[in-house]
Amino acid sequence: MGEGLLVPYPEALENGIRAMHPTEKIVLQFHESWDLRDPDRGAEVIADDCDFEDIARGEKLVGKEAYKADYHRWREAFPDGLCKVENVIVSEDGQWATVEFRNTGTHTGVLRSSLGDFPPTGRKAEVRYCSVMRVKDGMVVEGRDYYDSATIARQLGLVD
């Protein structure tokens, strides 16, 4: 990542109000698409060859269609799920963004995972995530999601 962190960036004040860095706008569009129930909106900012890794699951997602499939996998398990962005930090060169967010939802559908499929438990889950995303030419080209899958499993009663 670039040296130092930049938010707000030098041109960020417009009439005394902080303006968003273009990279921040892109990563927010990606994350806000979850609450809007609009995976196509999220896919608009994903490069066709975007290499995204879910660290907890040990899975790689490549491109828009993989993103949409993952969106639907989570949405099936947590139809009421919400994604609340808490913090966005953009690197000085504007290529990288770190996004802290909190996902909440009720497990009312099948949760499909690398460990198998888990039937609905009816329990609520709240998990904190961190995404590290690289943006080039207005598109997310690389990223990694970090979260504690054991927290999800405990909250759903799948493990003690």
The pair of three-digit structure tokens given for residue 44, joined into one six-digit string: 């608009």
Q: Is the CB of residue 68 less than 8 Å from the CB of residue 96? A: no
Give the pLDDT of residue 139.
Answer: 97
Q: What is the pLDDT of residues 20-68, one digit of tens each?
A: 899 999 999 999 998 899 999 999 999 999 999 999 989 999 999 999 9
DSSP string, 71-126: HHHHHHH-TT-EEEEEEEEEBTTSSEEEEEEEEEEE--S-EEETTEEE-----EEE
In the prediction, which pLDDT does 15 show? 58
1 pLDDT higher than 90: no
Q: What are the residue ranges spanned by the domains of the chain?
A: 17-155
CATH number for 17-155: choose from 2.60.40.10, 3.30.1490.20, 3.10.450.50, 3.30.450.20. Answer: 3.10.450.50
78: its two tokens: 């947590």
Q: What is the CA radius of gyration of the chain?
A: 16
For residue 13, what are the contacts with CB-CB under 8 A and spacing of at least 6?
Answer: 19
In the chain, how many H helices and how many E strands? 4, 10
Provide the pLDDT for residue 19.
75
